[in-house]
Amino acid sequence: MSISYYIFLSIALFCVGVAGVLTRRNAIIIFMCVELMLNAVNLLLVAFSKMHHQSLSATNPNAGIDGQIFVFFIMVVAAVEVSVGLAIIVMMHRNTHSVDVNFLNRLKH
Amino acid sequence: MSKLVPLVPLFPLIGFLVIGLCRNSLSKSVTGIIGCGMIGVSFLLSLFIFQEVRQPGFETVIVTCFDFIHADTLNIPFAFQVDALSVLFLLIITGVGFLIHVYSTAYMHEEESPHFARYFSYLNLFVFSMLLLVLGANYVIMFIGWEGVGLCSYLLIGFWFKNIDFDNAAKKAFIMNRIGDLGFLVAIFWMINQFGSVSFSDVFAKAPVTSTGALTGITLLLFVGATGKSAQIPLYTWLPDAMAGPTPVSALIHAATMVTAGIYMVARSHLLYSLSPASQTVVAVIGLSTAIFAATIALKQNDIKKGLAYSTVSQLGYMFLGLGVGAYTGAVFHVMTHAFFKALLFLCAGSVIHAIHNEQDIRKMGGLRKFMPVTHICCLLACLAISGIPPFSGFFSKDEILAAAYGKNPIYYFIAVAGTFLTGLYMFRLYAMTFLGDFRGTSEQEKHLKESPPAMTFPLIVLAILSVIGGFVGIPEVFADHAHLLGRFLEPVLNGTAQKKAEANPELILMLVSLLAAGAGVVYALVRFSKKPELGEARGFGKILANKWYVDEFYQAIIVRPLNGLAKFLNSFVEKSIIDWIVNGIGRLIQYGSRQIRLLQSGQVGGYVLLMVIGMVILFLIQLLVKK
């Protein structure tokens, strides 16, 4: 299958993620959109890794493998980040009884 | 021995540092001993070096201390050059300098201890700079000394800095010198461009194959420097004002040494001047006109030091005339004799001023012959020497210049002889009004009149002896073969320019004419001023002379006032309305801009994220478009 499909899918996912982060006010949805962006990148990495492996495996059996390692890293870090982020959201809900990020405009002061 | 030449300027430098840094803790006698001692040691070293240089077959020695400037192909070493010319100046500077240091210990004794030490530290710094000037083996080292003496001149003219007039005189001297220095500096740059070097040996070796135009430019620019330092038209006006400094300073800096730096420089570059007849003519004409012009002003000066200052300007003019007509030996000879008798005259004036409690107006002097016999005799000898009466020193040196001037162009000679008449006239007017007749000051002053202390009379006597016999090193060749010792000594440096053996008859007649002119001036002045001194204000033409031909006023009108006007315009209009507007405008713009940009910080997370995304998109687009 051509690499361009993966790229277009990935761009689409990323743009959905960006649009979600920009437009939504619900912290949980923003969070999910961030995950969406991360996974778009993961998808792209895996796709390129596979492509490299196919074209270069004759000379180098390990070609493109680092892309996949990257993906694992991102997944692990994302999992950690999710736990921290969800904890923040829980604290936020406790204090404001809302998960609307526009309540959090105290940074201005 | 000549390898030790860096020590000669080193001692005065040490003296300057020690006295200058410890000025608050040294007593006056220690200061005096260090100050005089350092110069004395330098003088002894110079004598030893002189002994070596005068041996037959002596070759020029160049002692390189370190590389001063090294850039690409240009290499300027910090090097000293020992040859006949520099050794002669060494002797003059350290010898006369030593005597004046000794004199100063008595003259400045009423100063408080720190100021006394300040005075001696400046004086030692001056001697150091002057030695650097004459010892440098290239134009850059010479220029360092040149600037150094200018600085010391400024510091010492303004020594009594609480008097605003003295400060102004110091500033005037400094600014006038800067104008000349600019010419010197441009000449150095031109030399680097033309010859690729500033060492005397390189420049002189390459000069004969250089275009006359470039040489004329370089020599004229060098001469601009010389007119500043050596007080020639049009930059001479600072020298009479420089008399604001202590009198020994006038004797050392503004008569014997610093003002002759220009003559040294031209004599040192005489090969360049010989190749450029146009510059020679300019030098001769400027020198001659300065000699006459300053002599006329000197006729009507009533301040004893101002009179001597104009006399110095006039004598310097004679030296430049000598340089311009190719009598380089004669000019250097006149530098030497002039250093003796003019330093002596200034020291006599200082002795008089000291005795009469800071009175400088000769109309309030008179009859001092009775009270100050030593000063009187010394001053008389100096006046005879400067007027060119044989067998005193001035006669021989001036005669050599006049003879060369006649050889070049008889018109130069006749004008110069008129100047000789004026010299006799103004010198003996000063002499008669100071020492002859009756005392015209207050009776209070008369009670305190007495001869100066030995520390002051000793230098007077030594200089008087030198003024009398100094001329015998340069007896004209018409009297005896090989009698011109100085000419033969300087022959290796000023080669080919030594006085040609003129036919006996014309030269004797020329001597007689100038002698008659000088004698007429002397006799007229003695008859005219000894009985009936000139006490009233000058009138008519005399008033123009007394006001120095209104040159200061002229400069004031055509240079100072327009410059002040320009400065005022720049201050009130350009500064206030344009520059201030720009600066304040920038400030206001930033304030306004930041007020607007502050609105971006809304506190909304979404806003920040939006900006971040926009930023990233912009970076992405830049990456996309700029990538080749």
Taking the domains of chain A in order of start, what are their residue ranges?
A: 3-108
β-pair partners for B78? B66
Q: What does the pLDDT average to over B133-143?
A: 94
Interchain CB distance below 8 Å, A108 and B610: no
The structure's pTM equals: 0.80
Tell me the shortest Cα–Cα distance from B621 to chain A, in angstroms. Answer: 16
Query: What is the amino acid identity at position A9?
Result: L
pLDDT digits (tens, 9 = 90+) for B529-565: 877 777 777 777 888 888 888 888 889 899 889 999 9
Cis-peptide, bond into residue B454, ω within 30° of zero: no
CB-closest option in A22, A106, A109 to B613: A22
Of B128, B135, B342, nearest to B247 by C-alpha is: B342
Contact A105, B602 (CB under 8 A): yes
Nearest chain A residue to B609, by CA = A22
Residue A62 burial class via C-beta count within 10 angstroms: exposed 0-12, middle 13-18, buried 19 and up: exposed
Of B234, B148, B219, nearest to B188 by C-alpha is: B219
The phi and psi torsions of B74 (rounded to 5 degrees) equal -85, 125
Contact B89, B129 (CB under 8 A): no
**Percent of all residues in chain B with a pLDDT value above 90, rounded to a whole number:** 60
Query: What is the amino acid identity at position B56?
Result: P
Q: Identify the band that residue B331 occupies on the pLDDT scale cut at 50, 70 and 90.
A: very high
Contact B424, B522 (CB under 8 A): yes
Q: What is the mean pLDDT of chain A?
A: 88
The phi and psi torsions of B391 (rounded to 5 degrees) equal -95, 30
DSSP E strand stretches across chain A:
none
CB-defined contacts A:B, below 8 A: 27
Query: What is the amino acid identity at position B472?
Result: F
Interchain CB distance below 8 Å, B606 and A25: yes
DSSP one-letter string for B334-352: HHHHHHHHHHHHHHHHHHH
Nearest chain A residue to B601, by CA = A108
Query: What is the amino acid identity at position B143?
Result: F
pLDDT digits (tens, 9 = 90+) for A48-102: 999 988 888 888 888 888 889 999 999 999 999 999 999 999 998 888 888 888 7
Alpha-carbon distance of B422 to B292, in angstroms, equals: 8
pLDDT digits (tens, 9 = 90+) for B575-619: 888 999 999 999 999 999 999 988 888 777 778 888 899 999 999
B617 at the A interface (CB within 8 A)? Answer: no
Element (H, E) at B64: strand B61-71
Interchain CB distance below 8 Å, B604 and A105: yes
- Give, in degrees to the nearest 5, the angle at Cα B360 between B382 and B173: 85
Contact B440, B373 (CB under 8 A): no
Tell me the shortest Cα–Cα distance from A36 to chain B, in angstroms. Answer: 16
A104 contacts in chain B (CB < 8 Å): 603, 605
Indicate if the pLDDT at residue B527 is higher than 70: yes
Task: Select A3-108's CATH number: 3.40.30.120, 1.10.287.1080, 1.10.287.3510, 3.40.109.10.
Answer: 1.10.287.3510
Residue B84: DSSP 8-state: H
A21 contacts in chain B (CB < 8 Å): 609, 613
Tell me the shortest Cα–Cα distance from A2 to chain B, in angstroms. Answer: 23
Tokens of B79: 């090097």
A19 at the B interface (CB within 8 A)? Answer: no
CB-closest option in A21, A25, A105 to B603: A105
CB-closest option in B602, B603, B610 to A22: B610
| Angle, helices B261-268/B84-107, rounded to nearest 10 degrees | 170
Alpha-carbon distance of A61 to A47, in angstroms, equals: 17
Indicate if the pLDDT at residue B446 is higher than 90: no
| Most A-contacting residue of B598, B599, B604, B617 (CB-CB within 10 A), to test interface | B604
Alpha-carbon distance of B147 to B80, in angstroms, equals: 17
Element (H, E) at A14: helix A3-23
Q: What is the mean pLDDT of chain B?
A: 89
Element (H, E) at B68: strand B61-71
Q: Identify the band that residue B142 occupies on the pLDDT scale cut at 50, 70 and 90.
A: very high
Instruction: Decide if the complex's ipTM is over 0.90.
Output: no
pLDDT digits (tens, 9 = 90+) for B147-167: 999 999 999 999 999 999 999
Domain ranges of chain B: 1-137, 138-546, 556-626
Query: What is the amino acid identity at position A42?
Result: N
- Give, in degrees to the nearest 5, the angle at Cα B146 between B140 and B152: 140
Alpha-carbon distance of B403 to B327, in angstroms, equals: 9
B602 contacts in chain A (CB < 8 Å): 105, 108
Helix (H, G, I), strand (E, B) or coil at B535: coil
Element (H, E) at B308: helix B304-324
Indicate if the pLDDT at residue B91 is higher than 90: yes
